[in-house]
Amino acid sequence: MEVVLNASGLRKLRSLLLIHLFAVNAAADCLTPPTTQHDTDLSEKSRMVDDYREGVQLQLECVSGYVRKSGTGNTTCNSGNWTKSDLICTRKDCGPPRDQPHMKFNLSQGTLFGDAVQVLCDKGYLLSGVTFKQCLSFGWFGKANCFAVVCKTPPEVANGLSSWSGPKNPKYGETVQYSCKEGYTLFGNSSITCDENGGYSPGPPECKAIPTEAKITTTLTSSIPRTSKAETTSTVTIAISTSHRNKLATTQIASTVSPSQEAASGSSKETATSSLSSFQAVVCKTPPEVANASSSWSGPKNPKYGETVQYSCKEGYTLFGNSSITCDENGGYSPGPPECKVCQYHSPLHVLDVPGINTNKESVSVPVIISLTAVFLVIIIVIGFLYMLHQKKKGSYDTGEDLKPELLQFQNL
């Protein structure tokens, strides 16, 4: 059977074919650009494309702060869907921050994009600037410096001279030497050192007027068996040279004279024996123990006069006071022992939010707290003012008309 199509039928057939082709092509095209992850995005050239037909290929790249690890980044529109890209991006590694004098960093949180490291200064140095640096796309963000602790003016010693001449005060680790004026002797340490707390250790010395020679007088008793059996006494003066470097303990001197008589000649001989105890330096008691600290004294002999004992704190503790004590002439120690306390030097951390990264760092800013407190006080003041104004507006509505004569007659009824 033959089918004859007229002109009208041909037009209808052509329209149907066009509609079919259009529908097929439309079904094959991609309607929207490909979706990306937090670490990828379309390249600048691919973002300019607005026709996502079948077979169109776009390019993905790593976002700022991430670097390409592997893959080409290509994605193609295929049957209305975008093929999965093989691009793998990883966080940028900033590496350790640049070294600065007397500064160190706590890298326990990592050095990748979005991570933060704590800034620490060496002992005797103070931090100026941020307490944390953060790794961003361009590198480490945050400026900090460590400055040496500056001690107060060195103490003056009566009848003494010091090597400090000013005008700048000594910094951490610098020493000041002391010497005594003529006629005075130095007791204690001849130098003090600026410590990490802004003070000096050990304590300053003293200059005392002490004679160079001391006299010890003792009485010697002689027993001579003569006819009268009399006893005679004599006084002997012994000069002992003293030194400010070697304090001497109290010394006792005893002398005994034992005579013998020869009857044949009628004369007597005297033989004298004397004993002098030895001079020894003062020995101090056992150095005091300091909690959470160790000392340079290890025993078994206790320190002698002039010897010093050094103290240092365990890790995590800071020394307050003098780091050394000295055995004095009284068998004690001066100055007093130090203390080791736990000190926190951490400041609030304000870390920038990085998409896709949970920094898990919370901080409370002091200015924010102050601002909120001020706003709260202003609100209370405004409420109080409005309340007082409302009370004044209520007032009294007594006009005084009830006191007029023409109205008083009604009040008497």
User: Which has the higher per-residue pLDDT, 186 or 352?
Assistant: 186
Query: Burial of 328 by CB count in 10 Å (0-12 exposed, 13-18 middle, 19+ buried)?
Result: middle
Closest residue by Cα to residue 193 from 178, 181, 206: 178
Residue 11 has pLDDT above 80, yes or no: no
Q: Quick one: pLDDT at residue 6?
A: 62
Q: Quick one: pLDDT at residue 369?
A: 81
d(CA 257, CA 219): 12
Residue 204: other Cβ atoms inside 10 A: 20
CATH code for residues 156-210: 2.10.70.10
Q: What is the signed CA dihedral for 311, 315, 318, 321, rounded to 10 degrees? A: -10
Closest residue by Cα to residue 319 from 297, 295, 298: 295
Closest residue by Cα to residue 358 from 62, 81, 127, 38: 38
Q: Quick one: pLDDT at residue 283?
A: 86
Scanning the structure block, which residue is given the tokens 């001579």? 224
Closest residue by Cα to residue 150 from 97, 199, 110, 188: 199
CATH code for residues 103-148: 2.10.70.10
Cα 300-244-160 angle, rounded to 5 deg: 120
CATH code for residues 281-347: 2.10.70.10
Residue 76 has pLDDT above 50, yes or no: yes
CATH code for residues 17-90: 2.10.70.10
Q: Residue range 383-407: average pLDDT?
A: 67
**Phi/psi of residue 2, nearest 5 degrees:** -95, 140
User: Which has the higher per-residue pLDDT, 179 or 264?
Assistant: 179
71 — pLDDT class (breaks 50, 70, 90): very high
pLDDT digits (tens, 9 = 90+) for 244-301: 444 444 444 444 444 444 444 444 444 333 444 445 678 888 899 899 999 888 878 8
7 — pLDDT class (breaks 50, 70, 90): low
Closest residue by Cα to residue 310 from 341, 284, 329, 337: 337
User: Which has the higher per-residue pLDDT, 222 or 134?
Assistant: 134
Q: Residue range 80-100: average pLDDT?
A: 93
Q: Residue range 205-225: average pLDDT?
A: 59
The chain-wide mean pLDDT, for the chain, equals 76
Q: Quick one: pLDDT at residue 207?
A: 94
Non-local CB neighbours of 371 within 8 Å, separated by 6+ positions: none
User: Which has the higher per-residue pLDDT, 148 or 230?
Assistant: 148
Q: Quick one: pLDDT at residue 28?
A: 72
Q: Quick one: pLDDT at residue 278?
A: 46
Residue 128 has pLDDT above 60, yes or no: yes
CB 198 within 8 A of CB 150: yes
DSSP letters spanning 66-91: EEEEE---EEEEETTEEPPP--EEEE
d(CA 336, CA 322): 8
Distances (CA, A) of 40 to 43, 56, 96, 356: 9, 19, 26, 11
Burial call 212-241: b when 16+ CB within 10 Å, e when fewer: eeeeeeeebebebeeeeeeeeeeeeeeeee
User: Which has the higher per-residue pLDDT, 25 or 368?
Assistant: 368
Residue 87 has pLDDT above 50, yes or no: yes
Q: Quick one: pLDDT at residue 166?
A: 80
| 156-210 has the same fold as 103-148 | yes
Q: Quick one: pLDDT at residue 371?
A: 82
Sorted by where each begins, the domain ranges of the chain are: 17-90, 103-148, 156-210, 213-261+269-276, 281-347
Closest residue by Cα to residue 43 from 32, 63, 59, 66: 59
Q: Which long-range contacts (CB under 8 A, 24 or more apart) does 141-144 make?
A: 141/352, 144/100, 144/103, 144/119
Q: Quick one: pLDDT at residue 41?
A: 93
Q: What element of type H or E holds 312?
A: strand 308-313
Q: Quick one: pLDDT at residue 77?
A: 94
Q: Residue range 161-182: average pLDDT?
A: 92
